[in-house]
Amino acid sequence: MNTADLGLPVDVPSTALFTDQYELTMLQAALKAGTAERRSVFEVFTRRLPEGRRYGVVAGTGRVLDAVENFRFDAGVLGFLRERQIVDEATLDWLAGYRFTGDVWGYPEGEVYFPGSPIMRVEGSFAECVLLETVILSILNHDSAIAAAASRMSSAAGSRPLIEMGARRTHELSAVAAARAAYVGGFTTTSDLAAGFRYGIPTVGTSAHAFTLLHDTERDAFRAQVDALGRGTTLLVDTYDVAEAVRTAVEVAGPELGAVRIDSGDLLLVAHPGRQQLDELGATDTKIVVTSDLDEYAIASLAAAPGDADGVGTQLVTGSGHPTAAMVYKLVARAESDDPRAPLVPVAKKSSGGKTSIGGRKWAARRLDEDGVAEAEVVGTGPVPAELAGRQLQVELVKDGEVLAREPLDVVRDRHIAARAGLPLSAIQLSRGEPVLPTEYVQVPSGN
């Protein structure tokens, strides 16, 4: 069963309180001023990538669509708002009937992005759009950060499969989202069963050191595991002495042993004699899985080791040093009045400190060079140049409040691999650098 198609809700009856209080107080003030129904355009973008990163990865779009569908102010939520006197009764009455009826456009999940890319565009009345700011940003910032780290790791791993195993290093619900984002970024499996249940991600896992320590001898532990799980299981061999454990593992399971896992020590140095020993014992098809605080740099160094799969935890679920994508949600255009036919006018924040933004509803396209490799991210307002019309990046995700673009995760994962492959080769370098594509702005006056 592929549960990615089902639009499963989060573990709360409503996402309406996944927001900041000022979203509701702005709503109250706008309702009173008569500006709440003005047609508005909000955009999600980031002004910069994390230091040294060369591209970003759009992840969490599917979760955003679920969150928007479940953004409902039920009796319990309204009672909480009333008890705390957060908004007045007129606003509570308005919230009781809240349903997002607008449109959402965005980069398809798995696509790459750059500074200034209009990653998501939310259109509707000011009232219905402003309420979604926090929940959209919390999802996209978290998931995109994890997916970017996962992408760097999967690129460094090459053909070696990667196992997501960070559930014990983050919040229990974040762990599920992180496993999903890691899969988008190129990981192949997860240890987290909730992620497997909710999103259909393949799950793996066999035993920890506690299982070995439970038994009187390591041989007893291996025998118990093989008896229960079969000869194709993965045996953990670094509880005591790796060489002795590898010998015992093959004696117990035979050459059909599926894999051995090494979770400590200098993995590069330990893996080489481990491979040689397995081969000498006739277990030439037995794989080696390495784990232990890996990041993309450690994974790259293991390319010289005879490992067959890597397990990653802490560094992955914390974004490998960058736990947020620093995305913002800004009003970029609004109608001159609440008349549905009123034209949109661009609006933008002007301030010092690098927090300025560019007004106007934007399109985005990726220009390719003569070899079909991406050479620039082009962002503009007004008409799209004819030569870029077929290279536009945004797709329609929601129309009149109805979700249009929910996708299986395998489709998203494949899209990311293809998008990354379409970037210049320097995109996958682990050394620090500038974004691999420049962002070019084309501003054309329009009456949108």
Q: If you search the block for the tokens 């050191």, which residue do you land on?
A: 209
- Rounded to a whole number, what is the distance in angstroms from the first to the last CA of the chain? 43
| Per-residue pLDDT, 443 | 72
Q: Which of 204-230 are b and which e, b meaning 16 or more Cβ less than 10 Å from the residue's Cβ?
A: bebbeeebbeeeeebeebbbbbbeeee
Q: What is each CA distance from 390 to 104, 172, 381, 384, 399, in whole angstroms?
A: 20, 42, 16, 10, 21
Rounded to the nearest 5°, which phi and psi values hold at 432? Answer: -65, 145
Long-range contacts of 86-94 (CB under 8 A, 24+ apart): 86/21, 86/24, 86/25, 87/24, 87/25, 87/27, 87/28, 88/28, 90/28, 90/31, 90/32, 91/24, 91/27, 91/28, 91/31, 94/27, 94/31, 94/127
Q: What is the pTM of this model?
A: 0.93
Level-2 CATH architecture, domain 3-146+322-443? Alpha-Beta Barrel (3.20)
| Per-residue pLDDT, 9 | 44
| Per-residue pLDDT, 445 | 53
| Per-residue pLDDT, 101 | 97
What three-state secondary structure class fits 329?
A: strand
Residue pair 186/153 in contact (Cβ under 8 Å)? The answer is: yes
Q: Name, in order, each residue with C-beta under 8 angstroms of 326's C-beta and a sequence gap of 6 or more.
A: 46, 47, 48, 50, 141
Provide the edge-to-edge strand list for the sheet that holds 309-312: 189-190, 162-164, 309-312, 287-290, 259-262, 234-236
Q: What residues of the chain score a pLDDT lower than 50?
A: 1-11, 446-448
How many whole angstroms separate alpha carbon 350 and alpha carbon 331? 12
| Per-residue pLDDT, 16 | 94
Give the torsion through C-alpha atoms of 334, 337, 339, 345, to 10 deg.
-30
Long-range contacts of 85-91 (CB under 8 A, 24+ apart): 86/21, 86/24, 86/25, 87/24, 87/25, 87/27, 87/28, 88/28, 90/28, 90/31, 90/32, 91/24, 91/27, 91/28, 91/31
Level-2 CATH architecture, domain 206-307? Alpha-Beta Barrel (3.20)
| 278-307 pLDDT, tens digit each | 999 999 999 999 998 899 999 999 988 999
Strand-strand pairing, 374-381 and 362-368: antiparallel
Tokens read off for 14: 């409503």
How many whole angstroms separate alpha carbon 390 and alpha carbon 138? 31
| Domains of the chain by residue range | 3-146+322-443, 206-307
| 249-278 pLDDT, tens digit each | 999 999 999 999 999 888 888 999 999 999
